[in-house]
């Protein structure tokens, strides 16, 4: 297993240790683990290997659980809350692209019919992708409703009087 570095500190070290152990536990031959600083000041951990599907899990459930766990571990190591993103085999980018397409289709539908469009429940990371995708789209607004784990996004036409 190969480890590449591009971030410093106790949170990075803790994240690297966890991801290396996970890659070994999943028997990911030739896996590469890397930890880098994210655009938002958080950390991005990656595991790259030939077959990472087991690590991703059905509908991303396994990688989402790993991301939550890694966020807790890194935040404790850092001594303050730290945003952590975990990716494997570019799953997050593929998922983000699917979410961006969904957001634009839902926004078009909301504008066309003048009604609210309620999306299925999503993880906080996925909701963030939707909100950021539509924040500069004229004529629509987004909001999150519900309680975890059933929190979802509602996309609606912007009321000109607001």
Collapse the DSSP code of 72 into the 3-class scheme (helix H, G, I; strand E, B; otherwise coil) and give the result: helix
Q: In whole numbers, what is the pLDDT of the chain averaged over residues?
A: 91
38-72-53 Cα angle (round to 5): 70
Domains and their CATH numbers in the chain: 2-89 (3.30.300.20), 93-157 (3.30.1370.50)
Tell me: cis bond preceding 15? Omega within 30 of 0 counts.
no
φ and ψ of 7, to 5 deg: -145, 155
Beta bridge partners of 149: none
Asked if the bond preceding 24 is cis, omega within 30° of 0, the reply is no
pLDDT tens for each residue of 87-130: 999 999 999 999 999 999 999 999 999 999 999 999 888 999 99
pLDDT digits (tens, 9 = 90+) for 13-41: 999 999 999 999 999 988 999 999 988 88
For 50-66, write each residue's pLDDT tens digit.
Answer: 899 999 999 899 999 99
Q: Which residue has the tokens 């945003």?
A: 83
Query: What pLDDT, on a 0 to 100 scale, did the predictor assign at position 37?
Result: 92
User: Residue 133, SS3?
Assistant: helix
Handedness of CA 105, 106, 108, 113 (dihedral sign): positive
Burial letters 76-90, b for 16+ CB under 10 A, else e? ebbeeebbbbbbbbe
């Amino acid at each position: 297993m190969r480890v590449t570095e591009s971030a410093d500190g106790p949170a990075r070290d803790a994240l690297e240790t966890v991801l290396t152990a996970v890659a070994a536990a999943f028997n990911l031959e030739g896996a590469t683990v890397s930890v880098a600083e994210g655009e938002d000041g958080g950390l991005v951990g990656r595991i790259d290997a030939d077959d990472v599907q087991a690590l991703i899990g059905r509908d991303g459930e396994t990688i989402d659980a790993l991301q939550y766990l890694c966020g807790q571990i890194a935040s404790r190591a850092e001594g303050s809350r730290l945003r952590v993103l975990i990716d494997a085999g570019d799953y997050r980018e593929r998922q983000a692209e699917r979410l961006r397409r969904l957001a634009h289709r839902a926004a078009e539908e909301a504008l066309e019919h003048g009604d609210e469009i309620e999306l299925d429940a999503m993880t906080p990371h996925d909701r963030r992708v939707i909100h950021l995708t539509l924040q500069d789209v004229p004529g629509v607004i987004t909001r999150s409703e519900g309680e975890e784990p059933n929190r979802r996004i509602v996309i609606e036409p912007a009321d000109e009087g607001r």
